[in-house]
Amino acid sequence: MEWVETTGKSIEEAKSVALDRLGVADEEAEYEILEEPKAGLFGRTRGEARVRARVKPRIPRAKVERRDRRPRKDDTPSAEGAPRAPRAPRAKQPRQQEKKMSDSSENNDRPRRERPEGPPADPAQVAAEAEKFLIGLAASLGANGETAVNIDGNDIEVQLNGSDLGLLVGPRGSTLQAVQDITRVVSQRRMGDHDTRLRIDIGGYRAKRKEALSRFVTQVADEVVASGSARALEAMPSPDRKIVHDALTGRTDIATHSEGEDPNRRVVISPAAVTAAE
């Protein structure tokens, strides 16, 4: 797991920022203190605390001894021990290639048959398939997971809770997003195409991330207003950008917009006066 480096007014604040970026609990992370704030006049501190943190590496399980692999034909030496002569390259068959191209073009020109619409999938069954997959995924990592489901119409949220689930969250929820995408694919393969919207959360990460990110961007917005200068945040995925925009929607003294292309797309916070002048 890669190290992340963060700063804060104190060691604890720097650690808290690191945990937000890693998306794990304190007991699931390890730290290195790079720099401590220095004591100044009248008990004030000068400088910032700087720490490195990462998710604690897991000890891999002992591998079960595999059965002896049967020798392949290529592994057995020839009777005379002489190297085999290289095969001559096959001649291309342009007629067959032209036929394949023409067949593919004809297939593209043909109208596609629409899939017959079956009965709508039961959201409870979709959630059950997602639960089964997530519990099995946690078990494969040696963790015990419990699930909780919230269904609102076609919106399904499945929460996986338990210990040692930090690896399924990853830095800033990147692994969690991948787990959500895979769970959707698995449910579609088992249940067929359906119109439900499946959302996965692990260890309450999304709620923690939303709270921490909203608090952070509110502080940045105050600094932007005080300085009168726009500030670009670090690149973040679409769900996090939405949290930023939603957190600052009610403010009239600043404006937000996104710029760049994924995965380097970022939110820019600008003073309202600067935005109006532009």
Res 11: pLDDT: 87
Res 99: pLDDT: 44
Res 248: pLDDT: 95
Report the chain's mean pLDDT, rounded to a whole number: 78
The residue out of 187, 203, 219 marking a domain boundary is 203
Is residue 185 located within the same domain as residue 160? yes
Res 83: pLDDT: 52
Query: pTM to 2 decimals?
Result: 0.52
User: How does residue 226 score in pLDDT terms, banded at 50, 70 and 90?
Assistant: very high
Confidence check: pLDDT of 45 > 50? yes
CA distance linking residue 266 with residue 97, whole number of Å: 46
Instruction: Note whether residue 269 is domain-resident.
Output: yes
Instruction: Note whether residue 30 is domain-resident.
Output: yes
The residue out of 184, 203, 222 marking a domain boundary is 203
User: How does residue 191 score in pLDDT terms, banded at 50, 70 and 90?
Assistant: confident
Is residue 237 located within the same domain as residue 169? no
- Per the structure, the complete domain to which residue 268 belongs is given by 207-277
Instruction: Note whether residue 246 is domain-resident.
Output: yes
Instruction: Note whether residue 84 is domain-resident.
Output: no
User: Which residue in the block uniquely carries the two structure tokens 């109006």?
Assistant: 276
Res 251: pLDDT: 93
Least confident of 159-168, 195-204, 269-278: 269-278
Contacts of 231 (CB under 8 A, 6+ apart): 220, 223, 224, 268, 269
Contacts of 22 (CB under 8 A, 6+ apart): 4, 29, 53, 54, 55, 166, 169, 171, 172
Instruction: Note whether residue 116 is domain-resident.
Output: no
Total length of the chain: 278
The residue out of 149, 168, 203 marking a domain boundary is 203
215 vs 263 pLDDT, higher one: 215
Least confident of 16-30, 55-69, 220-234: 55-69
Is residue 262 located within the same domain as residue 249? yes
User: How does residue 244 score in pLDDT terms, banded at 50, 70 and 90?
Assistant: very high
Instruction: Note whether residue 95 is domain-resident.
Output: no
pLDDT digits (tens, 9 = 90+) for 62-115: 554 445 445 555 554 444 444 555 565 555 555 544 444 444 444 444 444 444
Is residue 199 located within the same domain as residue 211? no
Instruction: Note whether residue 90 is domain-resident.
Output: no
pLDDT digits (tens, 9 = 90+) for 129-182: 999 999 999 999 888 889 999 999 989 999 999 888 888 998 878 899 999 999
CA distance linking residue 253 with residue 270, whole number of Å: 9
Q: What is the CATH number of the domain that holds 223?
A: 3.30.1370.50
Res 157: pLDDT: 94
Is residue 187 located within the same domain as residue 216? no
Mean pLDDT of the 113-126 span: 69
User: How does residue 19 score in pLDDT terms, banded at 50, 70 and 90?
Assistant: confident
Is residue 183 located within the same domain as residue 246? no
- Total structural domains within the chain: 3
Confidence check: pLDDT of 233 > 50? yes
Instruction: Note whether residue 103 is domain-resident.
Output: no
Res 102: pLDDT: 43
